[in-house]
Amino acid sequence: MPARVLNNPLKNPERPYLAIGLEGSANKFGAGVIKHLEDGSTSVLSNVRHTYITPPGEGFQPRDTALHHREWALKVINECLVKANISMHDVDCICFTEGPGMGAPLQSVALIARTLSLLFNKPLIGVNHCVGHIEMGREVTGAHNPVVLYVSGGNTQVIAYSRQCYRIFGETLDIAVGNCLDRFARVIDLSNDPAPGYNIEQEAKKGKRLLSLPYATKGMDVSFSGILTAIEAYTYDKRFRADGLPRNSEDQDIITPADLCFSLQETIYAMLVEITERAMAHIGSKEILIVGGVGCNERLQDMMRIMAEEREGKVFAMDESFCIDNGIMIAQAGLLSFRMGFETPLSKSSTTQRFRTDEVHVSWRA
């Protein structure tokens, strides 16, 4: 990735730096190796992950997810190192997700990171999961100072940078947008492979009816729990057909799973576009960066792009390799912190399920 000249306190390194990042805040365990070069450019050497997938209609429980991470950790880390063509002795630091996320999976990843730190005598760097998404997004897309829409299974936030802090302009008041999608996918028995949100997106492409759902923006914040309740109620409507087929040639007034997926996407994404546009107007930005697993959704990207073009702006988005939780984003944010002199002592390497984006001192930016 090309170097960018920025007015910030992070100077170009005098030598190449290597970091390995470990991510496991939810149902994916990922490991990635990143290199920062002397000219200020960045190189992704490897980015490997494995997903814990449950049967249709079921979510993933913290205990089972943690067991999955422990089972797959060595395989994923070894594959990551082989693809990067390095050993653990070569890395400058070991970065891990400190939070937010699910308690047991976070603890499993922190345990693995501590073990590697002690075995190879490498410094530990605890990383905020959201800041990892933002920094990787900025690096991959080249966005300079965007309004960030962070949308995932556990988080929904509109963010902008100011004075070495990622400020939260708006967020969900209850459940995250990804959690809303995942839970509805379970209601209509969609597969969790590769992800329930992806399968809702594919089903929505076949939808033909836009059904009425609550539109819950409250200032800069949003609410999704009422929308989830309302769309679940449609599955009990006498017009609903789970198989998507009409009862007979005369009975076309039916509601299909595709209609529900289409209506859900259109409503919740319109809400996200609205609050993102407000943040753009407030800070005078022409850039939007979409990060997080839900950010892969092409319909969300299209709706955001229409709004941005009307404001003579630009949308920066990524594919699933960087949008969905991964180890390389943790390595990127961790290495930025490490180069600014930050290190997490072993005694303070505990994890936290609640670690807000605006609690992080972004020392590497002006």
CA 265 to chain centre: 18
Please tell me whether 154 is known to bind a ligand: yes
Q: Which residues contact 87 (CB under 8 A, 6 or more apart)?
A: 81
Q: How many CB atoms lie within 10 A of CB 15?
A: 8
Please tell me whether 225 is known to bind a ligand: no
**CB contact at 8 A, 31 and 20:** yes
Q: Which residues contact 187 (CB under 8 A, 6 or more apart)?
A: 232, 235
Please tell me whether 69 is known to bind a ligand: no
Please tell me whether 321 is known to bind a ligand: no
**CB contact at 8 A, 330 and 96:** yes
Report the distance separating Cα 95 and Cα 185, nearest Å: 33
User: Six-digit token pair at 41?
Assistant: 């450019």
Please tell me whether 343 is known to bind a ligand: no
Please tell me whether 325 is known to bind a ligand: yes
Q: Write out the H or E segment, with its range, that includes residue 140.
A: helix 129-141
Please tell me whether 21 is known to bind a ligand: no
Report the distance separating Cα 90 and Cα 332, nearest Å: 16
The β-bridge relationship of strands 156-161 and 166-171 is antiparallel
Instruction: Please name which of 88, 119, 120, 73 lies closest in space to residue 20, comparing C-alpha atoms.
Output: 88
Report the distance separating Cα 271 and Cα 219, nearest Å: 11
> What is the DSSP track for 17-39?
EEEEEEE-SSSEEEEEEEEE-TT
Please tell me whether 266 is known to bind a ligand: no
Please tell me whether 320 is known to bind a ligand: no
Report the distance separating Cα 172 and Cα 154, nearest Å: 10
Report the distance separating Cα 233 and Cα 228, nearest Å: 9
* Ramachandran angles phi, psi of 168, nearest 5°: -90, 115
Please tell me whether 126 is known to bind a ligand: no
Binding residues: 129, 133, 150-154, 182, 197, 201, 297, 325
Q: Provide the annotated binding site for substrate.
A: 150-154, 182, 197, 201, 297
* Residues contributing to the annotated binding site for a divalent metal cation: 129, 133, 150, 325
